[in-house]
Chain A
Protein backbone atom coordinates (compact mmCIF):
# COMPACT_ATOMS: atom_id res chain seq x y z
CA UNK A 1 0.00 0.00 0.00
CA UNK A 2 1.46 3.33 -0.90
CA UNK A 3 1.89 5.89 1.80
CA UNK A 4 -0.72 8.62 1.66
CA UNK A 5 0.64 12.00 0.66
CA UNK A 6 1.31 14.39 3.51
CA UNK A 7 -1.72 16.57 3.99
CA UNK A 8 -1.64 19.98 5.56
CA UNK A 9 -3.63 20.23 8.79
CA UNK A 10 -6.24 22.60 7.30
CA UNK A 11 -7.28 19.96 4.78
CA UNK A 12 -8.30 17.60 7.51
CA UNK A 13 -10.97 19.91 8.83
CA UNK A 14 -14.45 20.30 7.50
CA UNK A 15 -17.12 22.84 8.12
CA UNK A 16 -18.58 22.20 11.55
CA UNK A 17 -22.09 23.22 10.51
CA UNK A 18 -22.03 20.52 7.83
CA UNK A 19 -21.18 17.87 10.36
CA UNK A 20 -23.67 19.02 12.98
CA UNK A 21 -26.50 19.40 10.47
CA UNK A 22 -25.75 16.00 8.92
CA UNK A 23 -25.92 14.38 12.33
CA UNK A 24 -29.19 16.16 13.02
CA UNK A 25 -30.65 14.99 9.73
CA UNK A 26 -29.60 11.45 10.58
CA UNK A 27 -31.30 11.53 13.98
CA UNK A 28 -34.41 13.08 12.44
CA UNK A 29 -34.55 10.29 9.84
CA UNK A 30 -34.11 7.64 12.52
CA UNK A 31 -36.93 9.17 14.54
CA UNK A 32 -39.11 8.83 11.46
CA UNK A 33 -38.08 5.22 10.88
CA UNK A 34 -38.33 3.95 14.46
CA UNK A 35 -41.16 4.62 16.88
CA UNK A 36 -39.41 3.61 20.08
CA UNK A 37 -36.66 5.79 21.54
CA UNK A 38 -34.80 2.66 22.56
CA UNK A 39 -34.52 1.55 18.93
CA UNK A 40 -33.15 4.88 17.85
CA UNK A 41 -30.66 4.85 20.71
CA UNK A 42 -29.52 1.33 19.84
CA UNK A 43 -29.16 2.18 16.18
CA UNK A 44 -27.07 5.25 16.98
CA UNK A 45 -24.92 3.18 19.30
CA UNK A 46 -24.38 0.52 16.63
CA UNK A 47 -23.49 3.15 14.06
CA UNK A 48 -21.10 4.76 16.48
CA UNK A 49 -19.52 1.39 17.14
CA UNK A 50 -18.82 0.96 13.44
CA UNK A 51 -17.34 4.43 13.26
CA UNK A 52 -15.27 3.95 16.42
CA UNK A 53 -13.62 0.75 15.22
CA UNK A 54 -12.27 2.67 12.23
CA UNK A 55 -11.71 6.02 13.85
CA UNK A 56 -9.34 4.56 16.41
CA UNK A 57 -6.88 3.67 13.65
CA UNK A 58 -6.92 7.20 12.35
CA UNK A 59 -6.48 8.44 15.91
CA UNK A 60 -3.55 6.19 16.73
CA UNK A 61 -1.86 7.05 13.45
CA UNK A 62 -2.13 10.77 14.02
CA UNK A 63 -1.70 11.25 17.71
CA UNK A 64 1.31 9.05 18.54
CA UNK A 65 0.06 8.43 22.05
CA UNK A 66 2.23 6.28 24.23
CA UNK A 67 1.08 3.00 25.68
CA UNK A 68 -1.24 3.58 28.62
CA UNK A 69 -0.81 1.83 31.93
CA UNK A 70 -4.06 2.57 33.65
CA UNK A 71 -7.70 3.13 32.89
CA UNK A 72 -7.50 6.70 34.12
CA UNK A 73 -4.70 7.42 31.65
CA UNK A 74 -6.85 6.04 28.88
CA UNK A 75 -9.80 8.16 29.89
CA UNK A 76 -7.58 11.23 30.05
CA UNK A 77 -6.34 10.54 26.54
CA UNK A 78 -9.90 10.15 25.28
CA UNK A 79 -10.92 13.44 26.84
CA UNK A 80 -7.86 15.55 26.19
CA UNK A 81 -6.60 14.22 22.86
CA UNK A 82 -9.37 12.37 21.04
CA UNK A 83 -12.25 14.71 21.81
CA UNK A 84 -10.00 17.70 21.13
CA UNK A 85 -8.87 16.29 17.78
CA UNK A 86 -12.25 15.28 16.45
CA UNK A 87 -14.72 17.63 18.05
CA UNK A 88 -12.60 20.48 19.31
CA UNK A 89 -13.77 20.18 22.90
CA UNK A 90 -12.09 18.93 26.07
CA UNK A 91 -14.45 17.28 28.52
CA UNK A 92 -13.32 17.01 32.12
CA UNK A 93 -12.76 13.62 33.68
CA UNK A 94 -13.97 12.39 37.06
CA UNK A 95 -13.56 9.00 38.66
CA UNK A 96 -16.71 7.25 39.81
CA UNK A 97 -15.49 4.36 41.90
CA UNK A 98 -12.61 3.62 44.26
CA UNK A 99 -11.29 0.74 42.16
CA UNK A 100 -10.76 3.27 39.33
CA UNK A 101 -12.59 1.35 36.63
CA UNK A 102 -15.51 3.72 36.13
CA UNK A 103 -15.07 7.27 34.91
CA UNK A 104 -17.19 10.12 33.67
CA UNK A 105 -16.61 12.63 30.94
CA UNK A 106 -18.36 15.90 31.69
CA UNK A 107 -19.11 17.88 28.56
CA UNK A 108 -19.92 21.50 29.23
CA UNK A 109 -19.96 22.26 25.51
CA UNK A 110 -21.38 19.77 23.04
CA UNK A 111 -21.06 20.78 19.39
CA UNK A 112 -23.47 18.09 18.23
CA UNK A 113 -26.42 19.78 19.91
CA UNK A 114 -25.64 23.29 18.72
CA UNK A 115 -28.83 23.56 16.70
CA UNK A 116 -31.05 21.50 18.97
CA UNK A 117 -33.39 23.51 21.16
CA UNK A 118 -35.12 20.59 22.78
CA UNK A 119 -35.97 16.98 22.18
CA UNK A 120 -39.04 16.42 20.00
CA UNK A 121 -42.37 15.83 21.72
CA UNK A 122 -42.81 12.22 22.74
CA UNK A 123 -39.07 11.53 22.54
CA UNK A 124 -38.15 12.17 26.12
CA UNK A 125 -35.81 9.20 26.46
CA UNK A 126 -33.94 9.78 23.23
CA UNK A 127 -30.18 9.95 23.74
CA UNK A 128 -29.45 12.43 20.98
CA UNK A 129 -25.67 11.97 21.10
CA UNK A 130 -25.64 8.22 21.58
CA UNK A 131 -23.35 7.99 18.57
CA UNK A 132 -20.54 9.24 20.83
CA UNK A 133 -21.06 6.33 23.22
CA UNK A 134 -20.84 3.86 20.36
CA UNK A 135 -17.70 5.50 19.02
CA UNK A 136 -15.91 5.29 22.37
CA UNK A 137 -17.02 1.69 22.88
CA UNK A 138 -15.92 0.63 19.38
CA UNK A 139 -12.59 2.38 19.65
CA UNK A 140 -11.82 0.80 23.02
CA UNK A 141 -12.76 -2.64 21.77
CA UNK A 142 -10.27 -2.38 18.93
CA UNK A 143 -7.53 -1.89 21.50
CA UNK A 144 -8.81 -4.91 23.43
CA UNK A 145 -10.62 -3.06 26.18
CA UNK A 146 -14.24 -3.92 26.85
CA UNK A 147 -16.22 -1.04 28.26
CA UNK A 148 -19.75 0.01 28.93
CA UNK A 149 -20.39 3.52 27.70
CA UNK A 150 -23.66 5.30 28.37
CA UNK A 151 -25.07 8.71 29.01
CA UNK A 152 -25.47 9.32 32.71
CA UNK A 153 -26.80 12.84 32.40
CA UNK A 154 -28.01 14.82 29.42
CA UNK A 155 -28.60 18.56 29.20
CA UNK A 156 -31.28 17.96 26.58
CA UNK A 157 -33.24 15.95 29.11
CA UNK A 158 -33.11 18.67 31.70
CA UNK A 159 -30.01 17.71 33.63
CA UNK A 160 -27.46 20.34 34.54
CA UNK A 161 -24.59 18.81 32.59
CA UNK A 162 -23.98 16.22 29.90
CA UNK A 163 -22.12 13.28 31.37
CA UNK A 164 -20.84 10.19 29.58
CA UNK A 165 -20.01 7.25 31.85
CA UNK A 166 -17.25 4.80 30.84
CA UNK A 167 -17.06 1.60 32.88
CA UNK A 168 -14.16 -0.65 31.99
CA UNK A 169 -15.03 -4.33 32.11
CA UNK A 170 -12.74 -7.32 32.19
CA UNK A 171 -10.09 -7.17 29.47
CA UNK A 172 -11.06 -9.08 26.31
CA UNK A 173 -7.53 -10.21 25.70
CA UNK A 174 -6.62 -12.03 28.90
CA UNK A 175 -3.20 -13.26 27.89
CA UNK A 176 -0.44 -10.98 29.07
CA UNK A 177 2.33 -10.25 26.66
CA UNK A 178 5.41 -12.13 27.79
CA UNK A 179 8.82 -11.39 26.48
CA UNK A 180 10.93 -14.39 25.69
CA UNK A 181 14.05 -14.18 27.76
Chain B
Protein backbone atom coordinates (compact mmCIF):
# COMPACT_ATOMS: atom_id res chain seq x y z
CA UNK B 1 0.00 0.00 0.00
CA UNK B 2 1.28 3.46 -0.78
CA UNK B 3 0.70 6.50 1.34
CA UNK B 4 -2.22 8.84 0.71
CA UNK B 5 -0.27 12.05 1.28
CA UNK B 6 2.18 11.19 -1.46
CA UNK B 7 -0.56 10.43 -3.95
CA UNK B 8 -2.51 13.60 -3.11
CA UNK B 9 0.58 15.73 -3.58
CA UNK B 10 1.43 13.99 -6.84
CA UNK B 11 -2.08 14.59 -8.12
CA UNK B 12 -1.94 18.26 -7.12
CA UNK B 13 1.37 18.70 -8.89
CA UNK B 14 0.03 17.04 -12.01
CA UNK B 15 -3.00 19.31 -12.13
CA UNK B 16 -0.98 22.44 -11.46
CA UNK B 17 1.65 21.40 -14.00
CA UNK B 18 -0.93 20.93 -16.72
CA UNK B 19 -2.62 24.25 -16.00
CA UNK B 20 0.69 26.08 -15.78
CA UNK B 21 1.68 24.84 -19.21
CA UNK B 22 -1.71 26.01 -20.44
CA UNK B 23 -1.15 29.52 -19.11
CA UNK B 24 2.13 29.74 -20.94
CA UNK B 25 0.78 28.62 -24.30
CA UNK B 26 -2.45 29.65 -25.95
CA UNK B 27 -4.07 26.37 -25.08
CA UNK B 28 -7.59 26.81 -23.88
CA UNK B 29 -9.12 25.20 -20.83
CA UNK B 30 -10.54 22.30 -22.75
CA UNK B 31 -7.15 20.96 -23.72
CA UNK B 32 -5.99 20.74 -20.11
CA UNK B 33 -8.99 18.71 -19.21
CA UNK B 34 -8.35 16.45 -22.18
CA UNK B 35 -4.76 15.85 -21.06
CA UNK B 36 -5.88 14.99 -17.56
CA UNK B 37 -8.70 12.86 -18.90
CA UNK B 38 -6.27 10.94 -21.06
CA UNK B 39 -4.03 10.25 -18.11
CA UNK B 40 -7.02 9.17 -16.07
CA UNK B 41 -8.20 6.99 -18.90
CA UNK B 42 -4.91 5.09 -18.91
CA UNK B 43 -5.00 4.69 -15.17
CA UNK B 44 -8.61 3.55 -15.15
CA UNK B 45 -7.97 1.07 -17.91
CA UNK B 46 -5.00 -0.42 -16.08
CA UNK B 47 -6.86 -0.62 -12.80
CA UNK B 48 -9.89 -2.29 -14.30
CA UNK B 49 -7.74 -4.86 -16.10
CA UNK B 50 -6.21 -5.85 -12.80
CA UNK B 51 -9.38 -5.80 -10.75
CA UNK B 52 -11.60 -7.74 -13.12
CA UNK B 53 -9.11 -10.46 -13.96
CA UNK B 54 -11.00 -13.07 -11.98
CA UNK B 55 -14.52 -11.70 -11.91
CA UNK B 56 -17.37 -13.08 -13.98
CA UNK B 57 -18.51 -11.34 -17.11
CA UNK B 58 -20.88 -8.45 -16.44
CA UNK B 59 -24.47 -9.13 -17.46
CA UNK B 60 -25.61 -5.60 -18.24
CA UNK B 61 -24.90 -1.92 -17.72
CA UNK B 62 -26.38 -1.86 -14.27
CA UNK B 63 -24.07 -4.66 -13.24
CA UNK B 64 -21.12 -2.63 -14.46
CA UNK B 65 -22.30 0.43 -12.56
CA UNK B 66 -22.79 -1.58 -9.40
CA UNK B 67 -19.28 -2.91 -9.73
CA UNK B 68 -17.91 0.59 -10.16
CA UNK B 69 -19.87 2.03 -7.26
CA UNK B 70 -19.13 -0.75 -4.84
CA UNK B 71 -16.07 -2.84 -5.57
CA UNK B 72 -14.05 -0.47 -7.71
CA UNK B 73 -14.66 2.63 -5.59
CA UNK B 74 -13.94 0.71 -2.40
CA UNK B 75 -10.69 -0.67 -3.69
CA UNK B 76 -9.53 2.68 -4.97
CA UNK B 77 -11.01 5.16 -2.47
CA UNK B 78 -11.79 2.91 0.51
CA UNK B 79 -15.49 3.73 0.48
CA UNK B 80 -18.51 3.14 -1.70
CA UNK B 81 -20.30 5.69 -3.83
CA UNK B 82 -22.95 7.39 -1.70
CA UNK B 83 -25.61 7.83 -4.33
CA UNK B 84 -26.21 6.50 -7.82
CA UNK B 85 -28.89 8.01 -10.00
CA UNK B 86 -29.92 7.18 -13.52
CA UNK B 87 -32.44 8.24 -16.08
CA UNK B 88 -32.58 4.69 -17.45
CA UNK B 89 -31.48 6.02 -20.80
CA UNK B 90 -27.74 5.59 -20.43
CA UNK B 91 -26.88 8.50 -18.15
CA UNK B 92 -25.62 7.72 -14.66
CA UNK B 93 -24.74 10.20 -11.96
CA UNK B 94 -22.42 9.05 -9.17
CA UNK B 95 -22.35 11.07 -6.00
CA UNK B 96 -19.53 10.87 -3.51
CA UNK B 97 -20.08 13.07 -0.45
CA UNK B 98 -16.54 12.84 0.77
CA UNK B 99 -14.28 12.42 -2.22
CA UNK B 100 -10.81 11.68 -0.91
CA UNK B 101 -8.94 13.68 -3.49
CA UNK B 102 -10.83 16.83 -2.55
CA UNK B 103 -11.40 16.58 1.20
CA UNK B 104 -8.26 18.52 2.05
CA UNK B 105 -9.35 21.38 -0.15
CA UNK B 106 -13.05 21.38 0.54
CA UNK B 107 -12.73 21.72 4.31
CA UNK B 108 -12.62 25.53 4.19
CA UNK B 109 -13.47 28.35 1.82
CA UNK B 110 -9.87 29.26 1.11
CA UNK B 111 -9.51 27.47 -2.21
CA UNK B 112 -12.99 27.85 -3.65
CA UNK B 113 -11.65 29.71 -6.65
CA UNK B 114 -9.21 26.97 -7.59
CA UNK B 115 -11.46 24.08 -6.73
CA UNK B 116 -12.95 23.90 -10.19
CA UNK B 117 -9.52 23.28 -11.72
CA UNK B 118 -8.85 20.36 -9.44
CA UNK B 119 -12.35 19.07 -9.86
CA UNK B 120 -11.92 18.93 -13.60
CA UNK B 121 -8.65 17.23 -12.98
CA UNK B 122 -10.23 14.34 -11.14
CA UNK B 123 -9.73 11.74 -13.74
CA UNK B 124 -12.76 10.48 -15.58
CA UNK B 125 -12.79 6.78 -15.14
CA UNK B 126 -13.71 5.16 -18.35
CA UNK B 127 -14.49 1.54 -18.11
CA UNK B 128 -13.99 -1.11 -20.71
CA UNK B 129 -15.65 -4.44 -20.50
CA UNK B 130 -13.25 -7.33 -20.60
CA UNK B 131 -14.14 -8.41 -24.12
CA UNK B 132 -13.93 -4.80 -25.37
CA UNK B 133 -17.34 -4.83 -27.05
CA UNK B 134 -17.87 -1.37 -28.44
CA UNK B 135 -21.35 -0.61 -27.12
CA UNK B 136 -20.46 -0.94 -23.50
CA UNK B 137 -18.14 1.97 -22.93
CA UNK B 138 -19.53 4.67 -20.73
CA UNK B 139 -17.98 7.84 -19.35
CA UNK B 140 -18.84 8.56 -15.77
CA UNK B 141 -19.89 11.98 -14.54
CA UNK B 142 -18.83 12.77 -11.04
CA UNK B 143 -21.09 15.12 -9.16
Residues of chain A touching chain B, judged by Cβ–Cβ distance below 8 Å, are: 10-26, 28-29, 33, 43, 47, 50-51, 54-55, 58, 85-88, 111, 115, 131
Contacts and interface: CB of A to CB of B under 8 A. Distances in A.
19 contacts: A10-B78, A13-B3, A14-B2, A14-B4, A14-B100, A15-B75, A17-B50, A21-B42, A22-B14, A24-B42, A26-B14, A26-B39, A47-B13, A47-B17, A50-B16, A55-B9, A58-B5, A85-B3, A111-B2
A137 to B, nearest CB: 14
B139 interface: no
Given A15-B76, A17-B50, A47-B17, A22 B11 contact: yes
B17 A22 contact: no
A13 B4 contact: yes
Task: Name, among A12, A21, A47, A51, the residue most crowded by chain B CB atoms within 10 Å (CB to CB).
Answer: A21
A86 B35 contact: no
Interface residues of B, number: 29
A37 to B, nearest CB: 18
A25 B126 CA distance: 15
Residue among B2, B38, B40 with the highest chain A CB neighbour number at 10 A = B2
Contacts of A51: 6, 9-10, 13
For the complex, would chain B's binding face be called helix, strand, loop or mixed by DSSP majority?
Answer: helix
Contacts of B65: none
Interface of B: 1-7, 9-11, 13-14, 16-17, 21, 35, 38-40, 42-43, 46-47, 50, 75-78, 100
Contact of B5 (A21, A23, A55): A55
Given A18-B76, A47-B17, A23 B10 contact: yes
DSSP majority for the A interface? Answer: helix
